[in-house]
Amino acid sequence: MTQPTSHHANGPAAAGEPGSRPRNQAAWLDGPFAALTVRPAPYTAPDPDEIVIRNRAIAVNPLDEIKQATGNLMYRWLPYPSVLGEDVAGEVVEVGSAVTRFSVGDRVLAYVVGMEKGRNHQPEGGFQLYSVARAMLAAPLPESLSFEQAAVLPLAVSTAASALFQSDQLGLRHPVPVPPAEAAPAGGREAVVVWGGSTSVGSNAIQLARAAGYEVVTTASPHNHDVVRRLGASHVFDYASPTAVRDIAAVLAGVTVAGVFAAGTGSAEPAVAVAIATGATRVSLASPSVSLGGLPQRRGPSRALLRVGVGMIGGNVALQVRCRRRGIRARFVWGSSLMTNEVGPMLWQRFLPAALADGRYLAAPAPHVVGLGLDQVQPALAALRRGVSARKLVVTL
Ligand SMILES: NC(=O)c1ccc[n+]([C@@H]2O[C@H](COP(=O)([O-])OP(=O)(O)OC[C@H]3O[C@@H](n4cnc5c(N)ncnc54)[C@H](OP(=O)(O)O)[C@@H]3O)[C@@H](O)[C@H]2O)c1
């Protein structure tokens, strides 16, 4: 297991270690429901369109926690042992032969896609010292941002961009390289509603929609209202308020609502209600209507599993019927879908490098560093399971 592997024999040598490959370590998921264990991992050289990053900060996401906690219910294609993790920031140590945007030593952030179908699973996982990243899903990191700050972004910004800009989702105009105020259309007001603006994905959706020139109305708990306003929301309401949908419709009276984005458990139904109340015809959903959080962490059928399965299927069918009757298109979004369409290059090659460099785009939500070292990834996942509020849990390496 400690032997280095390479699927690109002519790759350049890694920086700082002439003649030898760096020693890699990973936090491995050895089987369904297992706790992560840290031990050596192969170091993999990049394919022509890839880079290798020495990770300095990594973040944990609900999908890592859900994969670990639900066994083979999701991501069934992942072999064991696996390396989970999507969000990395660090230094480039090796560059594939076709990559021109990065050099050894560059500070970068990247969305690594080892959990996705058809990818090279272990090398492209994030919970390790050295990750292989697709150059198209990486961006240079300006000196003004630390690795901890940058690690909050990759999956969240990719999911938000897929939802907002893909033609099969909300299909919004793309962000333009001028500040939002100047980018606002001269005609009538156009808005986007982000239900769950204090989630990681929602924080990025607010900023991306503003950068594309839309007014943003959002929801969050009251203690996060100032946080989401700083990201660009013009109005914010408490998602727990029974009048939230009505209040949103009232502030958007006379405004064209270009789309509604829903992030967070339980966000799908109110997002559709907002679309009905505002006349929006497109809804993009990042979260299932039922939480997988309460499932027992063991194999086999259980009442909770049955309840979640029935709730998820039944809830989705009811939602789709409601949408169809009203002429609304509501679709689930998959955060990695942007790597196969024009949204990926728009975000990672054009928008993010410029917007991060000039400080226009904020690394949000704020990082909360759980600890130093790969053995802190498991505590970070446990903390995520307990819940976070406008924070991204980060481990430094
Ligand atoms: N489809 C995909 O590819 C994809 C990718 C990434 C994430 N996701 C999903 O998107 C969701 C958000 O992920 P994340 O990483 O952004 O989450 P997160 O940051 O961990 O979410 C925490 C936030 O959720 C908010 N929240 C809790 N209940 C809510 C509700 N009923 N309505 C609105 N907001 C609520 C809380 O807001 P307050 O603190 O203000 O109460 C809290 O700040 C998760 O369901 C995740 O599984 C999907």
Residue with the nearest Cα to atom 41 of ligand 1? 221
Atom of ligand 1 nearest to the CA of 286: 1
Q: Are residues 135 and 284 in the same domain?
A: no
How far away, in angstroms, is 93 Cα from ligand 1 center? 33
265 lines ligand 1 (CB under 6 A): yes
CA proximity to 153, closest of 65, 89, 210: 89
How far away, in angstroms, is 312 Cα from ligand 1 center? 17
Q: Are residues 193 and 289 in the same domain?
A: yes
What are the CA-CA distances from residue 69 to residues 34, 35, 346, 389 (Å)?
8, 9, 34, 20
* Domain assignment present for 284: yes
* Domain assignment present for 90: yes
DSSP string, 66-93: HHHHHTTSS-TTPPSSB----EEEEEEE
- Quote the pTM value: 0.93
Number of independent structural domains in the chain: 2
By most ligand atoms within 8 Å of CB, the mutation choice from 66, 201, 245 for ligand 1 is: 201
Q: Are residues 194 and 98 in the same domain?
A: no
pLDDT digits (tens, 9 = 90+) for 101-127: 999 999 999 999 999 999 999 999 999
Q: Are residues 198 and 312 in the same domain?
A: yes
By most ligand atoms within 8 Å of CB, the mutation choice from 73, 158, 199 for ligand 1 is: 199
How far away, in angstroms, is 263 Cα from ligand 1 center? 5
Structure token pair of residue 290:
């039922």
156 lines ligand 1 (CB under 6 A): yes
In this predicted structure, what is the pLDDT of residue 11? 46
* Domain assignment present for 341: no
What are the CA-CA distances from residue 232 to residues 21, 153, 164, 272 (Å)?
45, 17, 16, 23
200 lines ligand 1 (CB under 6 A): yes
How far away, in angstroms, is 51 Cα from ligand 1 center? 30
Residues 6+ apart with CB under 8 A from 342: none
239 lines ligand 1 (CB under 6 A): yes
Which amino acid belongs to residue 102?
F
Residue with the nearest Cα to atom 24 of ligand 1? 199
Separation of alpha carbons 357 and 351, rounded Å = 10
Q: Are residues 129 and 198 in the same domain?
A: no
380 lines ligand 1 (CB under 6 A): no
Strands (DSSP E) along the chain, which ranges?
Answer: 5-6, 24-28, 37-41, 44-45, 50-59, 87-95, 107-111, 130-134, 138-140, 190-195, 215-219, 235-237, 256-262, 282-285, 329-332, 366-372, 391-396
* Domain assignment present for 352: no
316 lines ligand 1 (CB under 6 A): no
Separation of alpha carbons 148 and 367, rounded Å = 6
Separation of alpha carbons 271 and 292, rounded Å = 20
Atom of ligand 1 nearest to the CA of 224: 40
- Give the domain CATH number at 200: 3.40.50.720
Q: Are residues 146 and 168 in the same domain?
A: no
Residue with the nearest Cα to atom 30 of ligand 1? 264
Residue 23 lies in domain: 5-152+365-396
| Residue 341 C-beta-side C-alpha neighbours within 13 Å | 16
Coil, strand or helix: which one is 141?
A: coil
59 lines ligand 1 (CB under 6 A): no
The alpha-carbon radius of gyration of the chain (Å, integer) is: 21
How far away, in angstroms, is 392 Cα from ligand 1 center? 11
Q: Are residues 220 and 311 in the same domain?
A: yes
How far away, in angstroms, is 265 Cα from ligand 1 center? 6
Q: Are residues 64 and 177 in the same domain?
A: no
- Give the domain CATH number at 136: 3.90.180.10
In this predicted structure, what is the pLDDT of residue 187? 62
- The b-or-e profile of 363-375 (16+ CB within 10 A means b, else e) is bbbebbbbeeebe
Question: How many C-beta atoms lie closer than 10 Å to residue 269's C-beta?
Answer: 16
* Domain assignment present for 269: yes
Q: Are residues 142 and 174 in the same domain?
A: no
Q: Are residues 91 and 188 in the same domain?
A: no
Q: Are residues 307 and 370 in the same domain?
A: no
Atom of ligand 1 nearest to the CA of 202: 16
Q: Are residues 85 and 184 in the same domain?
A: no
Could you list the pLDDT tens digit for every one of the 397 residues in the chain? 334 444 443 344 444 455 678 999 999 999 999 999 999 999 999 999 999 999 999 999 999 999 999 898 889 999 999 999 999 999 999 999 999 999 999 999 999 999 999 999 999 999 999 999 999 999 999 999 999 999 999 999 999 999 999 999 999 999 986 655 555 555 679 999 999 999 999 999 999 999 999 999 999 999 999 999 999 999 999 999 999 999 999 999 999 999 999 999 899 999 999 999 999 999 999 997 776 666 666 666 677 777 777 777 888 888 999 999 999 999 999 999 999 999 999 999 999 999 999 999 999 999 999 999 999 999 999 999 999 999 999 999 9
Q: Is the peptide bond before 48 cis (omega within 30 degrees of 0)?
A: no
Which amino acid belongs to residue 31?
G
DSSP string, 270-338: HHHHHHHHHT--EEEE-S-SS-STTS-SSSS--HHHHHHHHHHHHHHHHHHHHHHHHT-EEEE--GGGG
389 lines ligand 1 (CB under 6 A): yes
390 lines ligand 1 (CB under 6 A): yes
How far away, in angstroms, is 201 Cα from ligand 1 center? 7
- Classify 300 in phi/psi space as left (phi over 0), alpha (psi -120 to 50) or beta: left
First to last CA, the chain: 21
166 lines ligand 1 (CB under 6 A): no
62 lines ligand 1 (CB under 6 A): yes
How far away, in angstroms, is 290 Cα from ligand 1 center? 12
| Contact call for residues 255 and 216 (beta carbons, < 8 A) | no
